[in-house]
Structures are given as structure tokens and as C-alpha cells.
Structure 1
Amino acid sequence: MSFFYLIICFIAFKLNSIFVHLASGVLGICALHWIFAKDHIINIHLLFFVISYQATNFREYHKLLPLAINIFVMVMFQLSFDAQFYTTIRGSLMIMAMKMSTFQITPLDGIVNAFSYAFSPDHIDTYKRKSNYDVLTPISFCTTSLVYLVMSSCVYPFLSASYNVEYAYVTAQTFRFSHYFVNDLSFALASIAGVKPLTGNSWTLKTEFPRSMKDVSYYWNIGMSHFFKSTIAVFTISSALHGFNFQLTAVLLSMGVYAMVEIKLRKKLASKFDCCCLCKRCNTDCKHTYKTYQVRSLVLNSMFVCLNMYHLMYLGAPFDNSAADTGYSFTHTLHIFGSKFKFGSPIIVAIQYFITLLI
């Protein structure tokens, strides 16, 4: 199945025909059936596609209204199905929702192209960025994705039963590595199809050792970051697409708020101390007296890197696989944040915001 799909994807960039787009969409449906092996799940995705495609007609009233309709339909699905079943199909529905949202704002020509775009298990920017075929890029991304898969699946069981800093950090890192695996595998498949990935393999280091929470926002979901341009919008829309899930919503919105507070604080610190400590690395010809590799800048930037690593550990710790099949409860999330961390992360951000007001 995967082999024939990749052949069709490759041909699709050489031949821009209705047949190829239709075949790509049909193979996408076959891939869904192969993964879930249940016809009614295919019907749910087809129903979502039809509703989302028709919602495109409402963009003349407001360009984000179709996206709101997509989110509403996702919520209705969540309320209609039991938690375990909805968790199973949520990922594929979210990908389709993001693809259709892109289509609704910058529409392709015709329902066949929309059908191919929605059901093709390909990168969200397939129809935007093309490149010559490069055999090394997919090999590189496939290799790193397998490394992340092993790390996310094999490290966690060897942790000690006692809850300590190491346990919390690796638990959070395991959750992030599972995300890296999916992203790099998507990049690999997209590059096989002739699509130029939006980033190289080094993006995970910029998430694991983040200069700023804004970097985490960008590299965590590069496609959505390009689409919305705004840090807070990325996490707000992402949390909405996840439906009524307190843990995911709390984590995603927290990351957005953390990023906004940090941006304001570092902007004021850079002005007050005249050094390169902004969220985004300064150019070599910036107007600051103390450049990136001078002591004052290094101290401030290192401090924020450590704080951001702590925030990632705090926000990722509740994803401990204890309820991955049905979704984590409100009490579970608050128990981890409260009893294990004493709500240290939001307290630190509140202090940062207070300092921002004083400077």
C-alpha cells in the first residue's frame, strides 16, 4: 500500500491531472481503511470532508468562519462518540481539519483537488513547495524518525518507580519524541513525493534546548506557524482542534501565554541592559553594545534556556501514558502540576510578568 501510494505521489508532481489527484485521494482512503479496518471510520472522514468542503462557501462572510465550522464539527464528533473511539480517530481528523482550513482560505480548483489534498497522507504544504527529487533527504528524516521512535518507546519502561526530576524530565521528553517521530516521518514521506521540507533535522534541538518559548511554538508545529503567523493563534487553534480536553488545552494555551510573556520581558531586558537577549537571535550588525557571545548576553540567554527546559518538563510530565487511550482527566493533570511541581511553572511566569511591569 505505502509503495503504490508513494509512486502515485511522485507521479502527481509530474502529471497534474484529475486522474492522479483522484487516485491519490482514493489511496488515502485505502490507507485509512488499512490503519483502522472499520468502514464506519471511513464514513466519518468522508462526512467531515463534505461538511468542511461546503463550509468553504462561508468564507465570503469571514475568512476564519470555515475554520470555526471545522472546530464545531470536531467538538460534535467528540460529544457523539465515546472517549476511546474519539481518541483513536482524533489525529487523522485533526490533520484533515488543518488541510481543509488551508484549502478554505487559499482554495484549490475543484472538489477533486480538495479531495486529493484532504485524504492524501502527505505534508500540509504539499501543493505549495516542490523540489527536485533528493534521495538523501528522505533517508535522513527516516533515520531520525526511527531514532525518536526507539527513544519514545524504549526509554520510558526503564525509569525507576520513584517520581523525581529525572523521571519527570524523561516522561516529558518521551512525549516530545513521539511527536518528533511523526513529524520527521511526515517530512520523509513528503520529500519522497518531491516536496521540500520546511526545516532540516536540527529543528528538534531547537525544541529540546529552546532559546525561547517562541521557538518551541514555531518548531513544534511548523506548518501551522507558517499558516497563522501568530504564536498565541497557533496554540489557541491547536487546542480548539483537540476538542474538550483539559490537559491538552491547558498545556497548549500555557505555552502560548509563556511565549508572549517571555517576548515582552526579553524585549525590555535587551533595552535595559543593552545586550542581545531577545527571543530571536540578533544579527551581527544589531545596535546592542553587548553582542550574543559576550558575558552579559550569554548569562541572560542561558538563564532563559534553562527556564524553558523546566517549562517543557512541567508541561510534558502529565503525558505519562496512564490514560493515553481515553484522554487524561482534569484531576490527573492538576495532581501532577500541583503535587509534583507545586505549580512552579506558572508561578515563574507570573513573576516574569510582574518583572516586565516593573522594568
Structure 2
Amino acid sequence: MSVYTVISYICLCVPRKYQRGIEMLSISLCTILICEYSMDPTSWHRIRGIIMIAAMKAVSISLDSKNNRNFSFNIWEYIAYIFSPLTCIFGPWMSFYNYKAMTTGRTVERKLTIRQIIVLWLQDLGVALKNFIVALIFLSISNCFAQWFIPNYISDGKWFTAYGDALSFRSSHYFICYVSSTVLSLGGVTSLIHPPTSTPTELISSTMTPATITRSIDIELPRSLVQVVISWNVPMHAWLKSYIFRPSINHVGKFNAVILTYLASSLLHGLNFQIAAVLLSLGLYTYIEFKLRNHLANTFNACIGSRRCYSSSASSVKSIIGFCGGTECRYQLNSKNSIKVLLTNIGFSLLAVFHLAYLGLMFDTSELQETGYNYLHTIEKWSQLGFASHLIALSTYIIYYLIT
């Protein structure tokens, strides 16, 4: 970790006119690959996430400094950013701008009264306590209820077992995300996207918006797989979109940019066939679903796109299945005035749940999780379900190809 920090900072010291934008990403990926092959699998599997977060920070600060001449930092700020105890272990990725906003914004507390400081601390403590309770709930679901409920009350069906294993894996992910949110809240970070504040009033109001890392309700009751990808890890999605997808879309096209984004994500997670297979499958699934639903939405002027229309008049659960129909919906037909639109959105939601059960099946509780899963484990798990999800995705693409 220390060696990588030194090498990455030396790379950042290269004059801007000699930088091409991919140096830091190349160094980071090479570091991950070297660790993948040189370290003990068990040890590497335990620290892989820490290296990934550090690589994301280094790449983001490299591209930000290249694209913004007013962007400046020194070696001590860089080291503090990389080794920040709030994010270096559990994550999430935080941009250097937001890190500076956190460190400089909290200095305004020196201008506050004792009462205002106590209010701030109590707010942070309340948010941290709420996140920690939610984390414990998801930990219980992951280790207990997901494994007990389905085998006891559902007959021996391989798809129910697959859904139970996938639910256990997703719940463990939610647990880590909410633990991370707890750490951020205890450190005074309650928003990942607000600018530096300059007045005590703005500082207090900014703490009322919690830092969002994952949106579990959008994943468990998804409108589409696109929504699942966005909600799985919100900061990482923002990183991939800002530093991989957008810079590459003008050079390689939208489809290739999508594949390149998921490929970069899989490499950041390490050279693991299982993760790469899942992420690349998700990339193909989401692209096909987005194109098909967007085409159908424009053809029938119906609110059946992969992304929901946000409306203040709809609850979160209703908006997930497309029950909007508010003033912000730009389509003539929606779930309020057409039962066909409602049923279509529910059908796509169930299809997304089906794909999640299939893709999450191999993340089980076997002994392989300590060292990482190999390709035989992935193929075996998917073959037990007849590669049904991939066949359905292929059928979906054929339908899209025929109607366009």
C-alpha cells in the first residue's frame, strides 16, 4: 500500500503536458495484477478492497488534476486522502473535492457556539446509530433468516435456493455499506456530494442529508437491472461514470464504452473469473434491457423505460414499479392510466429479480469465499440452472433486433 502510494504520487508529479490520462489507471491495474499473482490468495482476498479504494482515489485525483488547472494539492494532502481512516477500509470512494470539503467545512465549527456544536454532534451520532441498527438487521438476514426461511417454508426448488443464496450475498453487501455509512457519520461526513460550507447555518443544514452508499429497496424491488447497477454502490457508479464511461464514449462508442466500464470494474476487483463473468453479464443485460425498453417506450409513448420518471406524488415503492403519472412523466401512458403499462413494469421487475437470483447464486458460503471463486465454480453453479438467465438475455436481444 505504501509502495503504491509513493509510485502513484510520482506519477502525479509528471507535468500535465506529458500526461495522457491513462497512466494512473495502468499503474493501478498493474499493481492489482501483481498482487493477484504474487500474494497468498487468502491474504490478497482480505485486502483487495483496500487496494481497490486506493486505486479509485488515485485515478480520480489524477484525471481531476489533468482536466482542471486550478486543481492543486501537496504530498501530505494526498497521503491523508489515500489513508483516510473513514474510507480506506470499508470505503466508499470519495472524490478529493469532497474530501477537502469535509476537512475544511468542519473547521467552521470553531465559529459555532457550544450549543450548535452539540447539535451537530448529536445529529452525526443519530445518523450513525440509525445506520448501525440497519447494518445489524442486514447482518441477521445474511447469516440467519435468508438461510433458514426459504429451506424451511419452501419446497426443494433450485431457484428458491438460488434466490436465498443471492439474498444472503446482497444482505452482506448492505451490511458492509451501512457499516461504512456508520463510520462516515461518526467522522462527521453525512453527505458525499455537498460543496464546502461557509456559514454555520449551511453547515448544520448539510448534516441533515445522509451519505448514500447503497439503496437496498431499489435493489430488492427493482424497476430494472439498470437501477440495480446504479443503486448497488452509488459512489462507485459515479466514479465509473465520470472517469471511465464518459471519457471513453466519444472514442469507442456507447456499447464499447459500456463493456469497457464493466471490464475496468472487474479488473479493479482483481483478476477473478467469477466477478468478471457477473459484471460483464450485467453489462450486456443492462445494455439490452435499456435499448429494448427505451425503444418500446418511445414507440408506444408509454412509461416503460428502464429508468423511472421521478414524481413527488409517488411513494418510493410505487415509483419503482413505474407508478408515477405525475407532472414530471413525459409519456402519455403510465401506470396510473394504463393497466398494461403497470403490468409491463411489474414483469420487467420480476425479470430483474430472476436475473439477480441467477447472477448471485455463485456467491455462496462455501470455503472458496476465503480465497476467491474460480471459473469452475461459476460454470458449475450456472449449469445447475441451465444457463437460463443468459438464454433469456439472448432471447431479449433477438426480440429487440427483430423489432428494430
TM-score range, shorter chain: 0.7 to 0.9
2:381 is equivalent to residue 336 of structure 1: yes
The equivalent residue for 2:86 is 122
The equivalent residue for 1:155 is 145
Aligned-residue offset at 1:156? 5.2
Say if 1:172 and 1:317, in contact at 8 Å, map to a contact too: yes
**2:162 pairs with 136, 152, 168, which one?**
168
Structure 1 residues 148 and 209, CA gap change in structure 2 (3 angstroms): same
Q: How many residues align?
A: 314
Partner deviation per Cα, 1:306-334 (whole Å, 9 max, x = no partner): 01101110000001121101111111110
Say if 1:275 and 1:296, in contact at 8 Å, map to a contact too: no
The equivalent residue for 1:292 is 335
The equivalent residue for 1:28 is none
TM-score scaled by length of structure 2: 0.72
Aligned-residue offset at 1:200? 4.9
Q: Match of 2:347, as an amino acid?
A: M
**1:253 pairs with 274, 280, 294, which one?**
280
| SS across alignment from 2:99 | coil
The equivalent residue for 1:91 is 49
Aligned-residue offset at 1:302? 0.7
Structure 1, 245-254 or 275-284: larger mean CA deviation: 275-284
Partner deviation per Cα, 1:218-272 (whole Å, 9 max, x = no partner): 1112112212324655532220112221101000111122111111000111122
**2:59 pairs with 101, 126, 139, which one?**
101
CA distance in 2: counterparts of 1:207 and 1:160, whole angstroms: 23
Q: Match of 1:337, as an amino acid?
A: W
Unpaired runs of 5+ residues, structure 1, are: 1-44
Aligned-residue offset at 1:89? 1.7
Structure 1 residues 282 and 232, CA gap change in structure 2 (3 angstroms): farther
The equivalent residue for 1:271 is 298
Structure 1 residues 110 and 306, CA gap change in structure 2 (3 angstroms): same
Say if 1:78 and 1:243, in contact at 8 Å, map to a contact too: yes
**1:207 pairs with 219, 224, 238, which one?**
219
The equivalent residue for 2:371 is 326
2:57 is equivalent to residue 67 of structure 1: no
TM-score scaled by length of structure 1: 0.80
What is the percentage of aligned positions where both structures have the same residue? 33
Structure 1 residues 346 and 129, CA gap change in structure 2 (3 angstroms): farther
RMSD over equivalenced CA pairs, Å: 2.3
Structure 1, 47-56 or 74-83: larger mean CA deviation: 47-56
Say if 2:177 and 2:214, in contact at 8 Å, map to a contact too: no
Aligned counterparts, 1:185-204, within 5 A: 185-198=179-192, 200=212, 203-204=215-216
Aligned-residue offset at 1:285? 4.1
CA distance in 2: counterparts of 1:46 and 1:253, whole angstroms: 31
